[in-house]
Amino acid sequence: MSSLRRRKPINESSDSKHNEEEEDEDHDDVDADGDDDVNGKNKKTPSKIKKKRGEKPPKQPKWSCMDTCCWFIGCICIIWWLLLFLYNAMPASFPQYVTEAITGPLPDPPGVKLKKEGLEAKHPVVFVPGIVTGGLELWEGRECAEGLFRKRLWGGTFGEVYKRPLCWVEHMSLDNETGLDPCGIRVRPVSGLVAADYFAPGYFVWAVLIANLARIGYEDKTMYMAAYDWRLSFQNTEVRDQTLSRIKSNIELLVATNGGRKVVVIPHSMGVLYFLHFMKWVEAPAPMGGGGGPDWCSKHIKAVVNIGGPFLGVPKAIAGLFSAEAKDIAVARALAPGFLDNDIFQFQTLQHVMRMSRTWDSTMSMIPRGGNTIWGGLDLSPEEGNSCAKKREKKNETQIADQAGSENAVCKAKSANYGRIISFGKDVAEAPSSDIERIDFRGAIKGHSAANTTCRDVWTEYHDMGFAGIKAVAEYKTYTADSLVDLLHFVAPKMMARGTAHFSYGVADNLDDPQYKHYKYWSNPLETRLPNAPDMEIYSLYGVGLPTERAYVYKLSPHAECSIPFKIDTSADDEDTCLRDGVYSVDGDETVPVLSAGFMCAKGWRGKTRFNPSGIRTYIREYNHLPPANLLEGRGTLSGAHVDIMGNFALIEDVIRIAAGASGEELGGDQVYSKIFNWSEKINLRLDEEIPVHSSR
Amino acid sequence: MASVLRFRKLCYVESAVKCTSVGYESFEIDEKLDKKEEDVLSANNFALEINKKRKQPKRQPKEWRCLDSCCWIIGYLCTTWWLLLFFYHCFPVTLLRVPELPGPGVRLKREGLTALHPVVLVPGIVTGGLELWEGRPCADGLFRKRLWGGGSFTQIFKRPLCLLEHLSLHYETGLDPQGIRVRAVPGLVGADYFAPGYFVWAVLIENLAKIGYEGKNLHMAAYDWRLSFQNTEIRDHALTRLKSKIELMYISNGYKKVVAVPHSMGVIYFLHFLKWVETPPPMGGGGGPGWCAKHIKAVMNIGPAFLGVPKAVSNLFSAEGKDVSYIRAMAPGVFDSEILGLQTFERVMRMARTWDSIVSLLPKGGEVIWGNMDRSPEEGHVCDFSKKSHSKTSLTTNNVNNSDVKRGFLVKDLANYGRIISFGKPASILHSSKLPTSDSKVFSRTSTSENFNNFSCGEAWTEYDEMSRQSIQNVAADKAYTTTTLLDLLRFVAPKMMRRAEAHFSHGIAENLDDPKYNHYKYWSNPLETKLSDAPDMEIYCMYGVGIPTERSYVYKLSPNSRCKSIPYQIDNSVHGEDGSCLKGGVYFADGDESVPVLSAGFMCAKGWRGRTRFNPSGIATYIREYRHKPPTSLMEGRGIESGSHVDIMGNFALIEDIMRVASGATGDEIGGDQIHSDIIKMSERINLGL
């Protein structure tokens, strides 16, 4: 600034004097900071000087704070642009080059490796995405969603969630009575491979697998993403969108256009159940089913490669339905108490989320199936004796050998009662069953509804229950898989009435019973037979080595109006019994316990059983979880986590080999790290066709 | 405060200007001044520290000023920008939205229309998106990214040569080159927007959704528009997929027939499909003779290029159109410069010539349809449109003038539209007897040993490089070409391309449609060489815009020769007709929608298929719906709701309303039968075609 002034005299000499005066003033100002007569001296620009007061003596005296800020921002912008420019000018392979320079040469992605081996695209591939990972877009909405036509509400950037959360919740919810669209709102699944390749920018789901398949020659005509609206019950996707018919037609088209080669189906997570439902639907006669005839599956399907399949449900679904929370939320609540609970802004986040997710029928497909037979009773559970070594393993991988020794010691001392999926209080969870006094809640009177008037926005069925009902629930103390279903019926009768019309959670006694022709049994592997397709193969691919939620310790939440009356007791911790923050965990892939993912392939369908009358071959492929070695690897190429496993190179290689024509034996048969076979042995489930007089063992 | 800030800002701007303009001389003086001042300052017993500070960075402060103020200005701008952006996002969406006219969807929904027939959209050339599935190393990181359409075209600017390489097809086979797989983007996203904000199908889709359409009853038949139609089936099974989709929609929507809405080249693609689907398996889809009657309610062709477009000729012949030649006239040397060695045109031409589909758009029907040396169906057409677009307000006076002009003009200067390419203006005007006869014998190649620029311009090779100078001049000496001789011309200048493409397309008129040779697929997309299928209940609509000057024929010249300019011809943009003539910038214009002349779009519906003809044995009902072009009245309207131009017509409310009414069950008579603004009936009558 001052140089400018100094230069001025050249052009305007008449001003020079005045300028010099001002120059003087400036220096006065700097020196005589706090002098009283400064103000008297400089009457011309009092405001300027006032502003400069209190600042440090600046080098360029005329620069105000604003200017500095602007200058600073300008600098940052320029640097930013420069970097951006450099980034864009950089060749695309540069990051890979850097990574390789640091970590040494990366292994070839499986697609490249197998292409070198000479593998080629053979069987067409069908992807069936799971819950939550599929994109949803708006086709018709309320006024508040204007401008979002055909924009993604789910998946993609999620920008709208932050902008208009209530509007978003409204559009994502379904009708509470029918489980279909609310009036005037149509949200539909995105179709095509884009539906579930990335869940959010940079967070891949199917993208890595697709990219690797493309390397050996797959493209749009040989791949198909069976996108469906994952909020609906399985049969409703057909009723509303004809999704099952479309999948049938597309599979037929794939087979026809690829020279009669059968498809390889790759379902993930809930897609596993969905496809189970599909296989049953497609062979059922026309009004309820697809009318494909009894040999449709054997004609069109080579293999079903299930990734992380919750065949028998996941305990996580219980926590989600019961109190709209899971491990993550419970931990967050423990860390910052009051943050999620306060009603100051009337956010009532959890209540909104709960109300929304309870309208989704599909969440009920994930409730644990098979009752006490599978998941264990009050005292016994198949996983008994499991230690939490895996958790520690993460911390010090080098000492695995030592641990193996200590493991046993720990296990003998105390074992968790995994069968008690929900218990109220830690003492209840640990006490022997004889010590627990339980008061049956089933007949309990719910009492008059509490807080029905004030919580207009976030009505959940809890508000119908009243205090007596809530108390009755807590009095029963502990719930096993059997009584859980009753519990849910008690706390959310409307939701469960909707849900039980579409799903069933039992074990069939006699599969010939005509009632099992109804579609609500089709997605439960314990209540349906596999199709008659002896040449088909069923794979179960899942990660192991991660602690997975299995049972919860609950407490009554301090009562406040409009809140959920139960919450996970995060104070309950026990190193020995895998209890942490109120959650018992077992081996699994962080979402699905090994038992649920592996049992059917390990025992339920192994050989010729009554669930698998044609003797479809089953294979278990487990992948031990190894966290990414460094940050550059992103989500890791050896991960075993529920979604990240889709980027696991070993899994991708298996999938590609199957798609290129390999059979299960050529792949290496079973590959097991967990104790799934031990645990399956412990489950006392009849597998022979005839009805026994009394159950053995 | 504000005034102070403004003052300061002014100062900085001034200083910035001075820094640059005054330059070094003033700096030197400044230094001296500085020293003087400093002496004065020290004499005045100022603090020593300050002096030291000043002296040490002696030079720096001055250099800094400029940079500083730059930074300051940028920072200032950024901050305001962010603030505005922040406010913009804070505003409720409804407040900022320009009060839009409620689209026809809303109105028709109030009328009680609901989705009835499933709708299949068939995109045209160029508008469909293409994505990469396998590429060369230069296309690293573009896997499943769009190379064409949809998102942004940033990649074109980043690595143009790489992109051209990937978008080209194999010159011999017309299929993928080795190691490159580029495929059509499937689904509605394939062609809803061509570029961000530039809609193609999006408006139509949005309006259809208002009355209940969604993924299950709305399908985009995306296909790779670069391939010949039969090749889309051979490589991608696109036709089989379309057949299966239509069957599925027919069944899953309660046995309701499908309404197909093809656009531009999609029209002849769908024509090909209709024929293919009923043909027995090895060559066709094996749907049986009743397939179309069973599955299709109506075909609503938008901007149909039934008989081809003359634009395709100039594109293939010299890789330019009206727009390009204008730019060339305005800024000569931009395209022609070789400084960067870009050879833009040669490369573009080479790419375009590998696309078989462009050949499908060459004018069909020869001289019978498009006119010969002296006669053409559009004869007597008056070009008043150039004025119209300039002065809309004086429309009434204009009309008066027009009739005057018409009278005078008709006598003195006739546009010979039949001569699609003429070399030099005289050749386009003179009577045919005065022109040298175009003898096909001329089209024999003089020895190829004369190839003169083959070695240095290797990369952007076009077939012109194989021609000798002599034969290039021979072509020009022939003066004028009609549609029939044009094909010979193209065969001469680009023999390989035409050999490849003519295995897939034919451009003639059938004498006897029962001739078994017409069972071959190369005739299926030519409406003059196929019968429509036996589906008496089906309806065919021709919907197109009129009132925009449309390229019809060209005046060419030899381009100035230089070594690597391997396109020897270019449109002679210096040729202008008199006022009122249809010749402008070397291009003769006729009525149309800016791309397709009325003749090509309307003739089949107006005459070729009207009633029971040999091309339409079952008497499928045809309807012509013309939409007069009205440019958008204000900027707010974007591309206009009454536009008639080739792509913008997809946002024309009247057209959308027609489609929606038909989709929800109306017949052609219910929506008002024919709606004609142009001279299409008169033109059709002049065409002497046996029906």
Give per-residue pLDDT as tens, A153-179.
888 777 667 777 788 888 888 988 888
Taking all residues of chain A, what is their mean pLDDT, rounded to a whole number?
A: 77
Query: CB distance B205–A253 less than 8 Å?
Result: no
Q: What is the pLDDT of residue A397?
A: 41
Please say if the pLDDT value at position A216 is more than 70: yes
What pLDDT does residue A432 have?
Answer: 74
% of chain B beyond a pLDDT of 90: 19
Residue B408 reports pLDDT greater than 60: no
Q: Rounded to an integer, what distance in angstroms lies between the CA atom of residue A431 and that of residue A438?
A: 13
Would you tell me how many other CB atoms lie within 10 Å of the CB of residue B167? Answer: 19
Q: What is the mean pLDDT of residues A499-511?
A: 87
CA end-to-end span of chain B: 84
B416-434 confidence digits (pLDDT tens): 788 888 887 777 777 666 6
Determine contact: A186 vs chain B, CB below 8 A.
yes
Under DSSP, the state recorded for A107 is: P
CB of A607 less than 8 A from some CB of B? no
Interstrand relation of B193-195 and A537-544 (parallel, antiparallel or unpaired): unpaired
Higher pLDDT, residue B627 or A66 = B627
Q: Which of residues 529-588 of B touch A (CB under 8 A)?
A: none
Q: How confident is the model at residue B156 (pLDDT cuts 50, 70, 90)?
A: low
CB–CB of B236/A221 below 8 Å? yes
Is A269 annotated as catalytic? yes
Check CB contact under 8 Å for A140 and B79.
no
Mean pLDDT on A335-346: 52
For the cut 60, the answer to whether the pLDDT of residue B437 exceeds it is no
- C-alpha dist (Å) from residue B519 to B282, B509, B513, B529: 12, 14, 9, 10
User: Which chain B residues touch A30 with a CB distance below 8 Å?
Assistant: 50
* Helices and strands counted in chain B (H then E): 27, 17
| Span A357-364, average pLDDT | 85
Structure confidence at residue A571 as a pLDDT band (50, 70, 90): confident
* Chain B: residue whose CA lies nearest to A227: B215
The answer to whether B63 contacts chain A (CB < 8 Å) is: no
What span, in angstroms and rounded, lies between the C-alpha atoms of A631 and A634? 6
Domain ranges of chain A: 108-311+521-547+588-680
Q: So what's the pLDDT on residue B321?
A: 62
Lay out the sheet containing A186-189: strands in order across.
Answer: A152-154, A136-140, A186-189
The predicted complex's ipTM stands at 0.79
B564 sits in which H/E element:
none
How near does any CA of chain B get to the CA of A696, in Å? 49
pLDDT in tens, A6-54: 444 444 444 444 444 444 444 444 444 444 444 444 444 444 444 444 4
Nearest residue on chain B to A251, alpha-carbon basis: B244
Q: What length is written for chain A?
A: 697
Tens-digit pLDDT profile for residues B494-510? 888 888 888 889 888 88
Name the residue facing B72 among A71, A91, A93 (closest C-beta): A71
User: Looking at the predicted structure, is the pLDDT value of residue B403 above 60?
Assistant: no
For residues B298 and B97, which has the higher predicted lDDT (pLDDT)? Answer: B298
Query: What sign does the CA torsion over A332, A334, A335, A336 have?
Result: positive
Partner residue facing B11 (CB), from A1, A75, A245: A1
Residue in chain A lying closest to B68 (CA): A71
Of A29-43, A332-346, A627-641, B598-612, the least confident: A29-43
Say yes or no for a CB contact (<8 Å) between A74 and B18.
no
The residue type at A578: C
Listed range (A264-268, B30-34, B220-224, B452-456) with the worst mean pLDDT:
B452-456
The partner residue sitting opposite B209, judged by closest CB among A47, A140, A252, is A140
pLDDT at B79 over 70: yes
A108-311+521-547+588-680, what's its fold? Rossmann fold (3.40.50)
Question: Pick the catalytic residue: A277, A502, A642, A674?
Answer: A642
The H-or-E segment that residue B631 falls in is none
Q: Does B78 touch chain A (CB under 8 A)?
A: yes
Closest CA to A627 of A613, A644, A615, A614: A644
User: Quick check: B340 pLDDT over 70?
Assistant: no
Q: pLDDT value at position A693?
A: 47
In this structure, of B267-276, B377-386, B445-454, the range with the lowest mean pLDDT score is: B445-454
Average pLDDT over residues B145-162: 72
Q: Is the pLDDT of residue A394 over 60?
A: no
pLDDT for residue A666 is more than 70: yes
Interface residue of B66, B136, B144 to substitute, partner A, most A CBs within 10 Å: B144
Average pLDDT score over residue span A233-238: 92
- Residue A656: per-residue pLDDT: 94
Identify the residue whose tokens are 């439960």: A524
Q: Any CB–CB contact under 8 A between A48 and chain B?
A: yes
A residues 633-652 closer than 8 Å to B (CB): none
At residue B497, the pLDDT reads 85
- How much is the average pLDDT of A117-143? 89
Q: What is the pLDDT of residues B272-286, one digit of tens each?
A: 999 999 998 888 888
- pLDDT (mean) for A410-433: 71
pLDDT at B57: 47
Beta bridge partners of A479: A422
**Across the interface, which of A6, A48, A69 has its CB nearest the CB of B4?**
A48
- Residue B268: the pLDDT is 92
Q: Residue B285 in 3-state DSSP?
A: coil
What's residue A266's pLDDT? 95
Q: Specify the pLDDT at position B260.
A: 95
Q: Do A246 and B248 touch (CB under 8 A)?
A: yes
* A210–B72 C-beta distance less than 8 A: no
Q: Quick check: A263 and A126 in contact, CB under 8 A? A: yes
Cβ of residue B70 closer than 8 Å to a chain A Cβ: yes
Which residues in A lie closer than 8 A to residue B247 (C-beta atoms)? 249
Q: What does pTM read for this prediction?
A: 0.81
Categorize the per-residue pLDDT at B451 as very low, low, confident or very high, splitting at 50, 70 and 90: very low
Cβ contacts from A onto B, under 8 A: 157
Residue B379: pLDDT band with limits 50, 70, 90: confident
Compare CB distances from A253 to B15, B47, B244 and report the shortest one's residue: B244
Q: What percent of chain A has pLDDT over 70?
A: 73
Confidence of residue B86 (pLDDT cuts 50, 70, 90): confident
